[in-house]
Amino acid sequence: MSRKSLKWLPAVAVPALVAAGIIAIPLSAGAAVDLPDKSAEEVLLLISESSEDSFSGTVQKSAELGLPDIDAAAGIAQSMGGPSGSTSAEGSGEVVSSALELLSGTHEANVYVSGDKNVRVQVKDELAERIAVSNGTDAWYYDSESNVATHVAIPADLESSLRDTLDSHVDEMLTPPELADRLLTELEPTTTITVGTDARVAGRTVYELILTPKASGTLAESISLAVDSETGLPLQVTVEASGQDEPAFRVGFTSIDLADPAADLFTYTPGNGVTVEEQPFPSAPPASENTKHSDDTTGPTTIGSGWESIVALPAGSAPGGFAENPMLDQLTTQVDGGRLLSTSLLNVFLTDDGRVFAGSVTVDKLQAAANAE
């Protein structure tokens, strides 16, 4: 499968960022590995020529982003319409709280892929499970906490990959091939790529590609990709933050089997007592609409590119009750022109006039972007 065809299990945008994980065994651990030498271009070619489109395994992720107190975030979430809230932005607070929780600690998923259309992801939480299944005819998403299964019927004439039907449900749990694809596509023009140390990941020998930003204003120090030496399949992605000793982000396989998974894994039957909700198949917007035009005052705009991309939201786009919540002070610090939510890989600048600017860049770049609008 070519690098451009790896369009499944959509990831949180990197480097404007990020839910991820620390693999059980670091990239450099274990017995020494000495693979035949390859240049960075040869390893990139190995990725692009990979034909592995069927496999299964366990993916593990966690994050060390230096996030603020999750309890404070939960308070804001409640005021925004979380589980106990009742604002007009019902449910948005639950999303915020869940996202912040996801960006902390460790998460694990079992992943099954067979060809271009069959995928199953089982995200395992401490006391809950989420299952996403797509098979070319139907897409399902089940959350054990709500005991609700969402079903989307796939149009018979649809020719594109069906995995995108699960975008809104499984974007928090990605696999290394998907993340590597996005990194190489979006960052390659502004990146120096070199070969690192040969190693093992999930019991397989890997080449290491190291991506270093050419720009100086990004919070990311480097990104490394562990590439299977036989198949070219990316098995692990690690993001290092400037000034932080531990990896800020790592997602990778702890085990992988390259055999075709059993066909019955790609069907889903709701159990007794499960509430089934039907949803229409989502229509994708034209590519030109993915980024709003500068005269569109209702949606996000993207400023810059690559490592220094900044996402800007207009005033009034935050959910109701967000700006007025006193707990916002616990999550942010006062800076010139507004307040700042800061992590090791992402800064979010909330201006005094209600606009929002976010990116994996320094606060002065966010302030400059706000002043230029």
The domain limits of the chain are: 3-67+103-279, 287-372
Give the whole-angstrom CA distance, residue 315 versus residue 330: 22
Residue pair 341/331 in contact (Cβ under 8 Å)? The answer is yes
pLDDT on residue 323 = 66
Give the whole-angstrom CA distance, residue 183 versus residue 13: 9
Give the whole-angstrom CA distance, residue 289 versus residue 219: 28
Q: Residues 183-201: pLDDT tens digits?
A: 677 766 788 999 999 999 9
What is the CATH number assigned to the segment(s) 3-67+103-279?
Answer: 2.50.20.10
pLDDT on residue 63 = 81
Phi, psi (5° rounding) for residue 150? Answer: -95, 130
- DSSP state for residue 178 in the 8-state scheme: H
Give the whole-angstrom CA distance, residue 304 versus residue 20: 24
**Mean pLDDT, 10 residues at a time, the chain of 373 residues:** 31 27 36 88 88 92 68 46 40 45 72 91 84 92 94 76 44 62 71 93 95 88 94 92 88 95 96 94 53 54 88 80 68 91 89 91 94 87
Apex 206 CA angle, 202 and 210, nearest 5: 115
- Peptide linkage before 10 cis (omega within 30 of 0): no
- DSSP state for residue 166 in the 8-state scheme: G
pLDDT on residue 367 = 95
pLDDT on residue 153 = 92
Sheet strands (E) in 1-159:
54-63, 105-114, 118-124, 129-134, 138-143, 148-153
Instruction: Give yes or no on whether 3-67+103-279 and 287-372 have one common fold.
Output: no
Count helices and strands (H / E) in the chain.
7, 19
From the number of C-beta atoms within 10 Å of its C-beta (0-12, 13-18, 19+), residue 156 rates as exposed
pLDDT on residue 267 = 95
Give the whole-angstrom CA distance, residue 69 versus residue 85: 20
Reduced DSSP (H G I as helix, E B as strand, rest coil) percent helix, strand, coil of the chain, to 5: 20, 30, 45
pLDDT on residue 31 = 59
- Assessment of whether the complete model's pTM goes beyond 0.75: no
* Maximal CA-CA distance, the chain: 61
287-372 CATH pick, 3.30.310, 1.20.120, 3.40.50, 3.30.70: 3.30.310
> Tokens at residue 360, please?
């994996």
pLDDT on residue 154 = 87
| Angle, helices 40-48/176-187, rounded to nearest 10 degrees | 120
